[in-house]
Structure 1
Amino acid sequence: MTDKKVWLITGAGRGLGLDIAKAALAAGYAVVATGRNKEKVAQAIGAAADLLVVPLDITKPAEAEAAVKAAMARFGRLDVLVNNAASFYAGFF
């Protein structure tokens, strides 16, 4: 367990989620970074002692439960949730 604030960030493999994850780590927080492809998330963020990368497709409740359980097992708590994951369909409305 850690005394640091623990952030869980969905959609952390690219875009705003990736930037938030990197900024939180740089600020000294522990980060649970999630995305549909665990390897891509890990590669995008890089290695860090206070980083836990777990797979999470937000449309699958069992994966959300597993992500929270993994975070609790590693860090003992969650302090901040950044619910960033989404689907974006570009095109005409």
Structure 2
Amino acid sequence: MTTKTWIITGVSQGFGRELALSALRSGDAVVAAVRRPESVADIASEHPDRFSAVMFDVRDTAAAPGVVEYALERFGRIDVLVNNAGRGMVGASYRKNLAEVCVWADLARSADFADAAGPVRPF
């Protein structure tokens, strides 16, 4: 069985966390790109050889190549990239204050992690 290496954003909770756990159960390696690495300390302690957390905020697109380099140094390859980080906004945007809308818009603008990460060298 060939294992894969995943980079997944938004692993702290919800879908991203479940996806990371599923990949680990399948024997794959996961780099969790999260704002708070301590939020995934339990996963790191259970899977120290195949799981690693790196501090990353998807709004900081300039830091994306560093996440890619970290994954390559740690596991030697990247097979799957899942940009799962997100933030919900319930209700009509015109009823929100400007600060709430700007936070959501900043996150939406940074959603193309793959472009921000740049090309990954072939293996």
Alpha carbons 1:13, 1:34 under 8 Å: kept? no
Query: How many percent of aligned residue pairs carry the same amino acid?
Result: 42
Q: How many residues align?
A: 89
Question: Could you say which residue in structure 1 is the equivalent of 2:82?
Answer: 82
Deviation at 1:46, TM superposition (A): 4.2
**TM-score by structure 1 length?**
0.86
Tell which has more relative contact order, 1 or 2 (C-alpha 8 A, sep 6+): 1
Larger Rg: 2
* Structure 1 residue runs without a partner (length 5+): none
* Structure 2 residue runs without a partner (length 5+): 93-123
Structure with greater helix percent: 2
SS at match of 2:77: coil
Tell me how far apart the structure 2 counterparts of residues 65 and 81 of structure 1 sit (CA, whole Å): 13
Question: Could you say which residue in structure 2 is the equivalent of 1:67?
Answer: 67
**TM-score by structure 2 length?**
0.67
RMSD: 1.4
Q: After the TM superposition, which segments of 4 or more aligned residues of structure 1 sit over 4 Å from their partners?
A: none
Q: What per-residue deviation string (whole Å, max 9, x for no partner) do you get for residues 12-31 of structure 1?
A: 11000000000100110011
